[in-house]
Amino acid sequence: MSSAAEQEATAGERATGNGRPAAVVNGARPTAPVPTVPVRPGRPTPLGARFRVGPDGVAGTDFALWAGGAEGVELCLFDERGKESRARLTELTHEVWHGFVPGVLPGQRYGYRVHGRWDPWTGARWNPAKLLLDPYARAVDGDYAPGGLSPEVYGHVRDWPEQHVADTVRDDRDSAPYVPKGVVVHDEDDWADDHRPMTPWADSVIYELHVKGFTQRHPGVPGELRGTYAGLAHPAAIEHLVRLGVTAVELLPVHQFAHEDHLLRRGLRNYWGYNSIGYFAPHAGYAASGTTGQQVGEFKRMVRALHAAGIEVILDVVYNHTAEAGELGPTLSLKGIDNRGYYRLQPDARRYADYTGCGNTLHVVQPHVLRLITDSLRYWVTEMGVDGFRFDLAAALARSMHDVDMLSPFLAVIAQDPVLRRVKLIAEPWDVGAGGYQVGAFPPLWTEWNDRYRDTVRDFWRHALPDVREMGYRLSGSSDLYAWGGRRPYASVNHVTAHDGFTLRDLVSYDRKHNEANGEGNRDGTHDNRSWNCGVEGDTDDGRVLALRRRQLRNLLTTLLLSTGVPMLVAGDEMGRTQGGNNNAYCQDNETGWVDWSLLDDPGWKALFALTSRLIALRHRHPVLRRRAFFSGRAHSADGLRDLAWFTPRGAEMTEGDWYAPAATLGMYLSGRDIPGRDEYGAQILDDSFLAVLHAGGEPVEFVLPGPPWAERYEVVVDTGREEQASEPGAAHRAGTAITVPGRTVLLLRVR
């Protein structure tokens, strides 16, 4: 800092009651006059920017911003050249600053400057030099500098020599040239021809994908549409989803997000998008049609195209934290509107409570924060057409003052909301705070990512389970976790992989993570992969290793799609996508993170896709594989046949001791005669019965097929020991005979 600036900083210091310096001004404010625009009182609701025609027939836009504790709010309008004009909002209703500006039309770019005290020691971080994004902006135009965030976007002096107090030193340089702006959007009701699939939970098969990564390399998508909402809506992209048979896509975050400074400085970007800054705006980087409002219509057209194909749209949403990070993070929106009102602060008020591992945590107990989240959720359902949400780190949202509370305001509001209680709700049931692991604890209406399913299935197929008790629970719907409070088996979203971690192919190809490309010294990403490389780390030309890996992939996919619950696949796993052993590809916006469609030219990977599609079709045809109620395990008829039974390789039902004994083989019998509930016509649901034999041992095993009353004859439907699967039933076997099950194989047999 220059000596003149130092003198100004010294002059700008003031002390709190305890004598600590609370503010130091760095740099002079611009002195050039800024044009002002006329403003009328307007309306305090709804929040955000809403275009309308005034009572005198003059078109304009209502602007409304909740800014509790602020001393003043300026609306800032920007023309195409970036020239700024301002309107001071003088109307204040219940902490909402509002005004109507005639002549402001859709496409207008805008932001806010919020005035108030600068006193970080008490959590007050108002700084009118910083242009702030409207939390309710429904479109965002512009981006941050590609080489790193400019120091001007920080409310404090980012490069202050004494970093331990840098967050207390105010930076008065104007941030407007360096930050994106909100865009006024015209409301359009264009859903008349849309028909939501409304797939029941029990019938759902979820496919997690990244809008850009799924289409960026797709040869059937025109080049100008790749990586965009329009690309995902293209018939070539939708054809793959339809052929596969999935019922819903779960999109990695599409809320407007920002890239972290440390990534930009390394030439990387936040690829996954778990760094939200605008909860109403579709991320502009995925728009092919434009970023001054066109992205909204493009997103809606994508949703309509997926709905027309019978596919629901679920959004992965990040309401637990924002891109503003901790006290040393940038000032982009909420931090400058009312830092104390939006974020959970530590007792000293200067620093943030961090239950997310991302520097901050939204204070969801506050009514206006809860309103922000629920307004956003309803907007995406009613105006953008989506069918459900997967909540990142949902335990952070369920915290009351400190502890996770299943009667928290957030969960209570969702449960009674007439819009939100009708859509699909998926919790990632943990956060990084104390007591944050809550698998099995969320109330009815909610489903959960079941990581105990993931870990158990991985361990079984690498032959690392001490016994098969856990595997029995996971295959049959995890009743130990979810059979309470009226919850059903579909409360469990079963998955073996997700965006976070190894791909399915890497799970059988690597024992260790290889994240060097992330630039963090391979320290990032989990060490607990529960993977097995089948004898060689990474790529190999060894035909025996490659054959074993493909067999393991077939085993994992078959197990997932035969298990009771809701299966979730990850885009590309059905055709052998690899990330080269990177288990944390959050910053790999390149071939590492994108789906490689050329894999389908390989006969082996094409066969894996065919098996996956066949298993999904089998699941859709047979209600016994997608039960709506938990198994009872009791006999419902005089012959002693039960809805679920377990068998050892001897063909005998498992005893208590068998469950505790080391074992690599498990037989699961599913009766199609005892399915609870009735169909839509009131008739009893009847189906075929099946015997699934899962053998994780490396050597073949003799398995005796159970006789009457279970069956008199069986026919093979799926045999993962074979790369090519027969389209017709395979070999038939009499009950009571012993069949040879090859090492590391799943056999699915239909009872005849």
Q: Which residues are catalytic?
A: 392, 428
Instruction: Tell me the CA end-to-end span of the chain in Å, nearest whole number.
Output: 84
DSSP per-residue string spanning 324-381: T-STTS--SSHHHHHHHHHB-B-TTSSSB--SSSSS--B-TTSHHHHHHHHHHHHHHH
Per-residue DSSP letter, 177: G
Say if residue 606 is exposed, middle or buried (CB neighbours under 10 Å; 0-12, 13-18, 19+). Answer: middle
What's the distance, CA 369 to chain centroid?
20
User: CA nearest 712: which of 750, 685, 747?
Assistant: 750
Q: Are strands 713-719 and 745-751 parallel, antiparallel or unpaired?
A: antiparallel
Residue 91, both tokens: 């109307």
DSSP per-residue string spanning 583-612: S--TT-TTTTTS--GGGGGSHHHHHHHHHH
Question: How many alpha carbons fall within 13 Å on the CB side of residue 52?
Answer: 14
Q: Please state, in angstroms and rounded to a whole number, the distance separating the CA atoms of residues 657 and 475.
A: 19
Per-residue DSSP letter, 352: B
Residue 34, both tokens: 């800024």
Q: Please state, in angstroms and rounded to a whole number, the distance separating the CA atoms of residues 190 and 489.
A: 36
Is residue 66 within a helix (H) or strand (E), and if so which, with residue range? strand 59-66
Q: Tokens 């990850």 appear where?
A: 570
Residue 206, both tokens: 């979820």
| Contact in structure between 210 and 577 (CB atoms under 8 Å) | no
Residue 72, SS3?
A: strand
User: CA nearest 251: which of 220, 273, 236?
Assistant: 273
Q: Please state, in angstroms and rounded to a whole number, the distance separating the CA atoms of residues 147 and 158.
A: 16
Q: Please state, in angstroms and rounded to a whole number, the distance separating the CA atoms of residues 446 and 437.
A: 16
User: CA nearest 464: which of 191, 730, 664, 244?
Assistant: 664
